[in-house]
Structure 1
Amino acid sequence: MQTPLELTFKHVEPTDEIKALVREKVDHLETFTDQITSCHVYIRAPHGSQRQGNLYEVTVEARVPGDELVVHPRQKDAAAHEHLQVAIRDAFASMEREIKRWKDKIRGDVKVHDGPLQGKIVEIHHDEGYGQIIATDQRLIYFHRNAVVDGRFEDLKPRDTVELVVQTGESEIGPQASTVRPIGAMEYDPSGG
């Protein structure tokens, strides 16, 4: 990390044991990516007392390039969070999932479960045999005339909606569609128009 770990306690005794546990959990997060630039952990006992039934809240904020990932305590975890170590474990397990999602997103591995990926043609060069599509996941996808199915490349024009399949391996020009199929209107318009 570029910035040292920030650890804030409220109504909780900041013991060396707890500080070491949090440091260990942060070190574990860094095994998933070396792109975490800073991490701030807030540990709170909401009612300020250490009596039985007191539920600890642990919030973890991790900054990564272009984003801030935040994990807040959830009420469904309440019973187990009478123990501070359990609340810390659960918060960092949630942050681990957030980091994995972020990594998938920046790699372009975001899974779409609502049917085929859709998009709109934003640029087409009939004379050179290629174009670009803005997909519903906001990626700009290159396509070649040979990828067009169920229609003719020459008939496509900007703002036409298409379904597409993106190749799994990214080429030197970025994400590329292996299949492009012209369709009617799509459910979600990535350009907002």
Structure 2
Amino acid sequence: MQIPPEITYRNITKTEAIDSLIREKIAKLEKFCNYMNSCHVVVEKAHENPESGSPHRISIDITIPHGREIAVGYNPDKGKQYPPLEAVIRDAFEAARRQLVGLTTEQQGEVKTHPEQEMGAVITKLFSEQGYGFLKEISTGKEVYFHRNSVTNQSFEQLEVGNGVRFKETEGEMGPQATTVQVVDKQSSPRIESVPSAAEKPLGWN
């Protein structure tokens, strides 16, 4: 790494165990991408007593050559009450790893198929503040939930309604859920409200 990793603690006491865990996770990221320019991690206590989720937030910002950047902001907002800080850190770095692998694979030219042949769904709803959205599968019209940490090849904040994506699906507690979401068509149309018919195909779909 060209610039030594930077770890910032806000409203929380730094401990040797947490610091060692973060540095261990950074080292593992370098195994997937050994040409990272920089990595800045922020560990903060965002809330004192949230009704659910975690009081902690982990932000990870990674830069790599050619002006590319990976940004992860992780703050569990549902599920188990007050998950341990260590678990929140591991989940945040797993999200960063998925994005990093997707980006480096793209840069190395290993993904060479045509986007229009891979697009299986269209983003129809985004809830930016809550960190989730919904896809509609083109072939079936099925609506599928996805979390911000499922996005692998760009940041959640860059998504737009109408983006064409490919995804992998599992059955979650609340129904179909995408485990990975990769944008393959960045054109967007805010008017998309349902799965296009044969006469109403999304942008870039042949």
Q: TM-score, normalised by structure 1?
A: 0.54
CA displacement at 1:61 relative to structure 2: 0.7
Superposition map of 1:2-81 within 5 A: 2-48=2-48, 54-66=54-66, 67-76=68-77, 79=80
Secondary structure of the 2:99 match is helix
Q: Which amino acid is 1:2 matched to?
A: Q
In 2 relative to 1, CA 108–6 (structure 1 residues): closer, same or farther, beyond 3 Å?
Answer: same
After superposition, give the CA deviation of every residue in 1:39-94 in whole Å (9 maximum; x if it has no partner): 000111112579x9752111111110121111111545663663110010001101
| CA distances 1:162-191 after superposition (whole Å, capped 9, x unpaired) | xxxxxxxxxxxxxxxxxxxxxxxx9439xx
CA distance in 2, matches of 1:58, 1:26: 13
Stretches of structure 1 that go unaligned for 5 or more consecutive residues are 118-185
Quick one: which amino acid aligns to residue 3 of structure 2?
A: T
Alignment equivalent of 2:117, drawn from 115, 118, 141: 115
Distance 1:30 1:48, change over 3 A: same
Corresponding residue SS for 1:102: helix
Q: What is the alpha-carbon distance in structure 2 between the residues aligned to residue 80 and residue 68 of structure 1?
A: 31
Find the counterpart in structure 1 of residue 107 from structure 2.
106
Q: Which residue does the alignment assign to 1:86?
A: 87
Deviations 1:85-118 (A, max 9, x none): 001000110111011111121122335564279x
Q: 1:28 & 1:188 partners in 2: Cα distance?
A: 37
Output the CA distance in 2 between the equivalents of 1:17 and 1:63: 26
For the 8 Å contact 1:55–1:81, the answer to whether it is kept is yes
Going from structure 1 to structure 2, the CA distance change for 1:80 and 1:36 (only over 3 Å counts) comes to farther
Count residues with an aligned counterpart.
Answer: 121
How has the CA–CA distance of structure 1 residues 4 and 116 changed in structure 2, closer, same or farther, with 3 Å as cutoff?
A: closer
What is the aligned partner in structure 2 of residue 153 from structure 1?
none
Identity among equivalent positions (%) equals 27
Separation in 1, partners of 2:75, 2:46: 13
For 1:16-58, what per-residue CA distance to the aligned partner results, in whole angstroms no more than 9, with x for missing partners?
A: 11111100000010111111111000111112579x9752111
Number of the residue aligned with 2:204: 188
Contact 1:56 1:82 (8 Å CA) reproduced: no
Counterpart CA distance in 1 for 2:48 and 2:93 is: 23
How has the CA–CA distance of structure 1 residues 64 and 21 changed in structure 2, closer, same or farther, with 3 Å as cutoff?
A: same
Give unpaired runs (5+ residues) of structure 2: 120-201
1:131-163 Cα deviation digits (max 9, x unpaired): xxxxxxxxxxxxxxxxxxxxxxxxxxxxxxxxx
Q: How many Å apart are 1:5 and its aligned residue?
A: 1.0
Which structure has the larger Rg?
A: 1
User: Is the contact between residue 11 and residue 48 of structure 1 (CA under 8 Å) also seen in structure 2?
Assistant: no
Tell me if structure 2 keeps the 8 A contact 1:41–1:61.
Answer: yes
TM-score normalised according to structure 2 size: 0.50
Kept in 1: contact 2:53–2:78 (CA 8 A): no
The answer on whether the counterparts of 1:80 and 1:86 sit within 8 Å (CA) in structure 2 is: no
What secondary structure, in the 3-state scheme, does the structure 1 residue paired with 2:4 have? coil
The verdict on how the C-alpha distance between 1:113 and 1:188 changes in structure 2, with shifts beyond 3 A counting, is: closer
